[in-house]
Structure 1
Amino acid sequence: MLQDNLIKFFEESFKEHSDAPAITDYFTSEVFTYYTLAQEVAKLHMLFDACGLKEDDKVAVVGRNNPRWAAVCIATLTYGSTVVPIMQDFDANDINHIIAHSHARLLFLSDIFWDIVEPDSARRVKAAFSLSDFRCLYERDGEKLTAFQRDILRHFNARYPKGFLPADISYEAPALKHVAAICYTSGTTGFSKGVMLTVGNLTANVSYTLSRKLFGRGVRTLGMLPLGHIYGFVLDMLAPLAAGSHITLLGHIPSAKVLTKALQGVHPHVVCTVPRILEQLTRKEVLERMQTGAVRLASLVPAMNSLIEPAARKILTHAFGGEIRLVIVGGAPLNREIEHFLLRIRFPFTVGYGMTECGPLISHSAPEEFAAGSCGRIVSRMEVRIASSDAAKIPGEILVRGDHVMAGYFRDKRSTACAIDREEWLHTGDMGTLEGDVLRVRGRLESRITLPDGREVYPEEIESRLNVMDGIMESLVAMHEGRLVAFVVPDYEQADHLGIGMNGIREMMDANLAALNASLGDAPHIEAIILYPSEFEKTPKMSIRRYLYVK
């Protein structure tokens, strides 16, 4: 039975690390120490008192990642209410839907988002506050809260006449079954549901990271994931703060140029990211520097020797700021060729698997335990079963249960009943195999393509191969006019660098198609590559919204 409590993790961490930096805003250079963060949490608790916030009330947060974003979340969790993190990349309709559907009582948002909030969606909202300085943007009843925030320092000094001391950092631990957060999914199906994560769910996830020592005092992290997504919410915020780490927050998933500069400025020890970022850095910073001409990765790896491997590792380590100890990859499968390369040069990375409904961890391994082609080993306090006749060889739907599994979908009993069966197994909708406790994910059940001859294709596996080939920015595999094809967005920047036009790009795609099909062996082949004119629309975690393109 789970004995720990997330709220006590924060209490202990804030006291123990009060003099250490907690969160830095990369773009403004504003720094919150753990003491400063605890002060802000205490002020927010006073504001919540003034608002009459109750245990079951919801506090919604939307805006770019910054220290106050984190402070609001921690304050809400430690107050015993429920936080509703909203991804800043959601469109206006989604944001208004979430505010209304969650029954949010308070809003904290970047100023630009207040302009898109509609009166109908905010009819239950008592007040709204700015994430830039916590000033009151709106209150439903008079100007009491506006005045309170204007005089917050006076109220704070009156509450703590001897000054705010580490001993004042004390939070009541809520029941493990209390709903701590409602996280709205950003999936590729286009239907967003509110996932109810309890204190117990989040405690189990953070407890795992502490037991594996992923973070610790003095460990520098670079937070590039949206805090409104469960991956960033836990791995870029809750877990590092519980361990006393120093988080530098980027406002959002950065461009390659901004990321490169940030890595060199922050020198992080730990980075949590998505495959696309690691693949692009490996390709641009290492492979293209170590080879002349358009030599494919597959031809480079067999030629590796004891001299090349340390040089490649040194280049990639430098690209990550020079002091990187661990890169955690999640959110999608990592390209096999890139993975092979990283294992060969002994770069410290690992691939995990999870979902919002598990807050998020299902599987993970330390680099020294990582099995090639896998998503790690099943984490403690979780069970996994594969719905197939041979779990190790025949892919089936991945079913999970344990302390990480959500309480259900908010105000949606039907979807909850469809997702969690009577034996408490959560049906993930992902296909995979399980050998011992090593999990391998093949793709989404809903994305699986069944060909006329009965053979099955997992498009994500083919896309992963395509996305590291010359001249390809991204791809999407689908049935089109009765044929299995790949829609490809060309890498026009690379084409310009090579001095080739559209004819050259088409020739490059012909070569890529031949190489791809040769690598697929007896598996179904792609019949054509079709050039797509613009980047595919994506979720905030950079997954393609497949439903927009596959009919």
Structure 2
Amino acid sequence: MSFERPWLAQYPEGVPAQIDVDEFPSIVSVLENAIENYRDRPAFSNFGKVLTYGDIDRLSAQFAAYLLGELKLKKGDRVAIMMPNCLQYPIATFGVLRAGLTVVNTNPMYTARELKHQLDDSGAAVIFVLDNFGKTVQDVVGQTQVKQVISTGLGDMIGGLKGPVMNFVLKYVKKMVPDYDIPGAVRFRDTLTLGQMHKLPQIEISPDDIAFLQYTGGTTGVAKGAMLTHRNLVANMQQAAAWVGANAKPGHEIIITALPLYHIFALTANGLVFMKFGGLNHMITNPRDMPAFVKELKKTPFTAITGVNTLFNGLLNTPGFDEVDFSHLHLTLGGGMAVQRAVADRWKQVTGITLVEAYGLTETSPAACINPMDLAEYNGSIGLPISSTDACIKDENNHKLGMGEVGELCIKGPQVMKGYWQRPEETANVIDDEGWLHTGDMARMDEQGFFYIVDRKKDMILVSGFNVYPNEIEDVIAMMPGVLEVAAVGVPDEKSGEAVKVVIVKKDQALTAEDVKAHARINLTGYKHPKFVEFRTELPKTNVGKILRRELRDAPK
């Protein structure tokens, strides 16, 4: 039976069914192409300091030469980078890749236990850390294979008087940099000086070489390293660029990068796609400081922004956001978690731009489905499989299901990872014999080829044998004007096996549990009604802003 692709008929004009995966053999060749075409244009900015593509070329080459010439690292060695969005991140990342090495993106919020696991598992030879998180590294580095620690202060690349003042204030005024001492650690600026003493050799990089070990699954158990090759990331960059590129003006785009670049969404969608366009990544180091974030937006004529639902919701609820100039904005892309209709509708109302939902996973580098960019308004779908990507719905016996049937969403395409680092069994559990990646998300497809996520397989709530999907409950409760944020989870129940519990952060302090239950009764079938309503001042979230339902499930009722 031939494989049906109804989504191709819905592709916006100019979006190809297939992309050219071989145009760039590696991420390094994408960078070199951008340097050649846009050398004097701004590439990254942070705290008022701008680095051009030419600056990134020079500095990343110096860092690469240091890693190879001074540390004598060999092709394929792993380098961990533990920092938020700051100018050091792109310099180091492109330096590691230019040296033919592998980047291990490391969440700066990791505890010592989590960091030790990742360093042990990846076998990283080097870790590059921001001073704010140096204490965590100090606590575990002696028990790992790490040979060299490189450290830096947030202000180190800002230069002038501003940089040292920033470092001083962070350490002594705001007390955000705990004391630490790592014997033998080298300062980042010194690595650049040392790198100038070595010539960067020509490194052969093949499309199948691992560019990133991107750790995932930390919220559900032991974090595993997804092996993302140069080909995986170049393919996904080409796919996303083909999809969003119709409106992009090469050399003139400014994208707000508030999600951390160490997260796969921002890494590809902001870092790589906009590098191909010769765009400027305007990096926000601490997006949780919403008033300061809005102040930055007021100063920047940005053309694009990516984010997760909680980020967009936070901005919409920050005074002054409605006074931002949105006249240059043509792209708002939401992913990482479900976009709620209430948030999408309000975003359109305030900015005039549709919040376009995309879907992806770390294992797909990340984009697999994106809604058409010319979408008039939010449609509740994760969109269409992007160019060179197939998607289907399968049942528990690995059989494909028909139109409208709910099953597990499976993805196939050049962006699908090589596998999990040193975990062949785990790899075999998620990539079947035909090459389909099983996502763990329950979904359905309509006649036009649009896919709809029903929920995470593991987040599904089973009430008296009925499947209840937290996303649906959350969408309904989020419609209430008194609700700022909501999460729905299943809790054990003697009668029904599980019962629905909602945890809410109030926007209106007068909101009561009875109000919530009354609203649910009007909008949801009986077995979906929340039996328990809890109010909190905040919800537990990952560093990217995804709500941690697991923590809410495990909390006492």
TM-score by length of 2: 0.81
**Aligned 8 A contact 1:24 1:31 in 2:** yes
Q: CA-to-partner distance for each residue in 1:439-498, whole Å, 9 max, x for gaps?
A: 11111001111221x22101122113323423323333223534633332332x643xxx
Task: Choose from 546, 549, 552 the match for 1:549.
Answer: 552
Task: Choose from 288, 292, 314 the match for 1:258.
Answer: 292
Task: Choose from 438, 461, 468 the match for 1:449.
Answer: 461
Q: CA shift at 1:51, angstroms?
A: 0.8
Structure 1 window deviating more from structure 2 (56-65 vs 110-119): it is 110-119
Q: Which residue identity does 1:67 align to in structure 2?
A: L
Corresponding position: 1:206 with 2:237: yes
Aligned to 2:145: 124
Aligned to 1:515: 519
Aligned to 1:296: none
Corresponding position: 1:218 with 2:223: no
Q: How does 1:3-14 map to 2 (within 5 A)?
A: 3-5=22-24, 6-14=27-35
- Per the alignment, in what secondary structure is the counterpart of residue 366 of structure 1? coil
Size of the aligned set, in residue pairs, is: 492
Corresponding position: 1:469 with 2:500: no
Structure 1 window deviating more from structure 2 (277-286 vs 352-361): it is 277-286
Inter-partner Cα distance in structure 1 for 2:484 and 2:251: 38
Aligned to 2:161: none
Inter-partner Cα distance in structure 1 for 2:521 and 2:46: 46
Aligned to 2:331: 326
Q: How does 1:424-463 map to 2 (within 5 A)?
A: 424-435=435-446, 436-452=448-464, 454-463=465-474
- Per the alignment, in what secondary structure is the counterpart of residue 51 of structure 2? strand
Aligned to 1:70: 90
**Aligned 8 A contact 1:267 1:320 in 2:** yes
Inter-partner Cα distance in structure 2 for 1:340 and 1:416: 39
Q: CA-to-partner distance for each residue in 1:120-173, whole Å, 9 max, x for gaps?
A: 565322211123349xx8676xx9x78x974854862x668xxxxxxx9x9756
Q: Which residue identity does 2:341 align to in structure 1?
A: R
Q: Which residue identity does 1:326 align to in structure 2?
A: L
Corresponding position: 1:486 with 2:486: no
Over the aligned positions, Cα root-mean-square deviation in angstroms equals 2.9
Q: Which residue identity does 1:512 align to in structure 2?
A: V
Inter-partner Cα distance in structure 2 for 1:194 and 1:515: 43
- Per the alignment, in what secondary structure is the counterpart of residue 474 of structure 1? strand
Aligned to 1:525: 528
Q: Which residue identity does 1:35 align to in structure 2?
A: G
The 3 A distance-change label for structure 1 pair 344 and 64 is closer
Aligned to 1:270: 304
Aligned to 2:393: 386
TM-score by length of 1: 0.82
- Per the alignment, in what secondary structure is the counterpart of residue 484 of structure 1? strand
**Aligned 8 A contact 2:116 2:144 in 1:** no
- Per the alignment, in what secondary structure is the counterpart of residue 258 of structure 1? helix
Inter-partner Cα distance in structure 1 for 2:151 and 2:479: 42
Task: Choose from 376, 381, 384 the match for 2:383.
Answer: 376
Q: CA shift at 1:109, angstroms?
A: 0.7
Q: How does 1:281-300 map to 2 (within 5 A)?
A: 281-282=315-316
- Per the alignment, in what secondary structure is the counterpart of residue 528 of structure 2? coil
Inter-partner Cα distance in structure 1 for 2:209 and 2:411: 21
Inter-partner Cα distance in structure 2 for 1:155 and 1:255: 36
Give aligned-pair identity as a percent.
23
Aligned to 2:39: 18
Inter-partner Cα distance in structure 2 for 1:151 and 1:489: 48
Aligned to 1:396: 407
The 3 A distance-change label for structure 1 pair 475 and 188 is farther
Segments of 5+ residues of structure 2 without an aligned counterpart are 1-19, 158-180
Q: How does 1:173-212 map to 2 (within 5 A)?
A: 174-185=205-216, 187-212=218-243
Q: CA-to-partner distance for each residue in 1:518-545, whole Å, 9 max, x for gaps?
A: 122x463314342244423222222222
Inter-partner Cα distance in structure 2 for 1:383 and 1:41: 36
Aligned to 1:31: 50
Aligned to 2:542: 539
**Aligned 8 A contact 1:100 1:121 in 2:** no
The 3 A distance-change label for structure 1 pair 75 and 437 is farther
Aligned to 2:364: 358
Inter-partner Cα distance in structure 1 for 2:491 and 2:325: 38
**Aligned 8 A contact 1:129 1:138 in 2:** no
Aligned to 1:297: none
Aligned to 1:500: none
- Per the alignment, in what secondary structure is the counterpart of residue 549 of structure 1? helix
The 3 A distance-change label for structure 1 pair 368 and 93 is same
Aligned to 1:111: 131
- Per the alignment, in what secondary structure is the counterpart of residue 235 of structure 1? helix
- Per the alignment, in what secondary structure is the counterpart of residue 212 of structure 2? strand
Corresponding position: 1:348 with 2:354: yes
- Per the alignment, in what secondary structure is the counterpart of residue 212 of structure 1? helix
**Aligned 8 A contact 2:258 2:287 in 1:** yes
Aligned to 2:167: none
**Aligned 8 A contact 2:111 2:136 in 1:** no
